[in-house]
């Protein structure tokens, strides 16, 4: 496998917490060093029960550290945090994730995580039941909202012979994710040096609600997670981001949030800001139809089944394509499989490509929202990115945050190649 670009000369703190997958961190360390990174290993007390610090000291760029108090340095976590270009924690146990989310610094590794302003990449590993526990997922959601990046675990054989999700991602995938983060953040970590610095971005998120009466509406299952991931990733890469959303949740750091509810409100909010945008990403699930007339009062069940006449809403993506004057337009095509079968790759690509041409979109992201691990309400997606030249790039299952970064990679590349 080729050595990932972006790691040469960069300082990486490699955190190792106490799980059986700690042995795989040795391979991660070796790959980072082979890619030219300066690696400073930090092991928790639990990690030393699984693997000796001497192993990392022999492979890394400096001796492994295991304690706040094992050297003459008065504040080793500050030095490590301030000097790091990137902090990678692999494996990240449920304990480490929870401690980090709570802001508790009870050892050298968690103190370093709180002391750094460098990007942080977590690679969780734990048993399936622990991985699926609401507390673990909520802690990860907290960290993601704060800008922490996560390499989702794989499914496979776990400790004790069980099979399931929670297996540490392969070292090559973790190192590739680390390299990708460093490329995004440029020579000096921080939003000001990111590759979208100075770009004005408009992102939509969530599903619209079209009222039938004051308490009922026509809607969809969109959670807004993809739009929020895109907005947060763009802001992290230096863009000036406006997020137009139907979702009641905190805005990603560094973004301006505009709340709307209906397709008409979203159309007005987007179109009124379109002229000053450089990149527009229509990730929202906008209703195609709305009730022609909404009842002014709640419709009573005793009055019988109401007749709801529908009319089409504004096709916002098509309107943006028609009005385009230099903006880069990204669309989403949510499709469902027929007869319970996934439409990849042919049907999905064909449908999305047709929409792309008809609506003058520069980049189309197609995904099958009928799959249980993809689309609405979940944290992962399986997508195909389609370019105007007809190239269809089928992506593996990944988190929406990872997909957001991948989409921005393609946008940045297109902007740089534009005449």
Residue with tokens 């042919």: 346
Contact 183, 121 (CB under 8 A): no
Q: What would the DSSP string read from start to end of 382-409? A: -EEEE-TT--EEEPPSEEHHHHHHHHHH
CA distances from 44 to 16, 66, 267, 299 (A): 6, 6, 51, 61
88 token code pair: 């990678």
How, if at all, do strands 383-386 and 392-394 pair? antiparallel
Contact 370, 387 (CB under 8 A): no
140 token code pair: 């990860």
CA distances from 388 to 347, 357, 367, 407 (A): 17, 8, 17, 15
How, if at all, do strands 210-211 and 217-218 pair? antiparallel
Contact 229, 400 (CB under 8 A): yes
Residue with tokens 């997909």: 403
Q: Indicate the length of the chain as a whole number.
A: 419
Of the candidates 139, 220, 367, 381, the residue annotated as catalytic is: 220
How many whole angstroms separate alpha carbon 289 and alpha carbon 110? 50
Q: Would you call 367 a catalytic residue per the annotation?
A: no
167 token code pair: 């297996």
Q: What would the DSSP string read from start to end of 315-360? A: -HHHHHHHH-SS-EEEEEEEE--STT---TTHHHHHHHHHHHHHTT
- Start-to-end C-alpha separation, the chain: 33
Query: In 3D, which of 404, 14, 115 has the Cα closest to residue 236?
Result: 404
H helices present in 39-75, as ranges: 53-59
How, if at all, do strands 255-259 and 240-245 pair? parallel
Question: Which residues are catalytic, by number?
Answer: 220
């Amino acid at each position: 496998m080729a050595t990932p670009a972006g790691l040469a000369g960069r300082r990486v703190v490699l955190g190792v917490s106490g799980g059986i997958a700690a042995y795989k961190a040795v391979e991660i360390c070796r790959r980072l060093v082979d890619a030219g990174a300066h690696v400073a290993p930090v092991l928790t007390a639990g990690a030393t029960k699984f693997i000796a610090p001497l192993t990392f000291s022999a492979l890394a760029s400096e001796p492994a550290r295991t304690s706040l108090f094992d050297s003459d340095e008065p504040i080793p976590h500050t030095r490590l945090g301030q000097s790091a270009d990137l902090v990678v924690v692999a494996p990240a146990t449920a304990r480490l994730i929870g401690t980090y989310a709570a802001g508790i610094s009870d050892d050298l590794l968690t103190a370093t995580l709180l002391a750094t302003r460098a990007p942080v990449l977590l690679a969780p590993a734990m048993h399936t039941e622990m991985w699926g526990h609401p507390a673990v997922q909520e802690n990860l959601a907290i960290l993601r909202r704060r800008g922490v990046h996560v390499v989702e675990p794989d499914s496979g054989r776990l400790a004790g012979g069980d099979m399931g999700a929670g297996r540490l991602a392969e070292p090559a995938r973790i190192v590739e994710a680390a390299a990708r983060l460093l490329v995004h953040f440029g020579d000096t970590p921080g939003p000001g040096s990111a590759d979208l610095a100075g770009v004005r971005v408009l992102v939509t998120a969530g599903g619209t609600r079209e009222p039938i009466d004051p308490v009922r509406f026509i809607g969809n299952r969109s959670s807004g997670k993809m739009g929020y991931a895109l907005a947060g990733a763009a802001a992290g890469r230096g863009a000036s981001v406006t997020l137009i959303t139907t979702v009641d949740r905190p805005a990603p750091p560094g973004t301006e949030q505009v709340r709307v509810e209906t397709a008409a409100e979203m159309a007005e909010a987007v179109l009124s800001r379109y002229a000053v945008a450089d990149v527009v990403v229509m990730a929202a699930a906008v209703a195609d139809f709305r009730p022609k007339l909404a009842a002014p009062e709640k419709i009573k069940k005793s009055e019988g089944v109401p007749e709801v006449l529908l009319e089409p809403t504004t096709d916002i993506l098509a309107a943006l394509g028609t009005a385009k004057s230099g903006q880069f337009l990204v669309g989403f095509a949510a499709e469902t499989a027929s007869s319970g079968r996934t439409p990849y790759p042919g049907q999905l690509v064909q449908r999305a490509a047709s929409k792309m041409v008809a609506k003058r979109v520069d980049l189309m992201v197609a995904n099958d929202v009928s799959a249980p691990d993809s689309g609405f309400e979940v944290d992962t997606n399986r997508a195909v990115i389609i370019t105007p030249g007809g190239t269809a790039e089928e992506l593996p299952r990944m988190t929406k945050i990872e997909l957001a970064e991948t989409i921005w990679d393609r946008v940045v590349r297109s902007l740089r190649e534009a005449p």
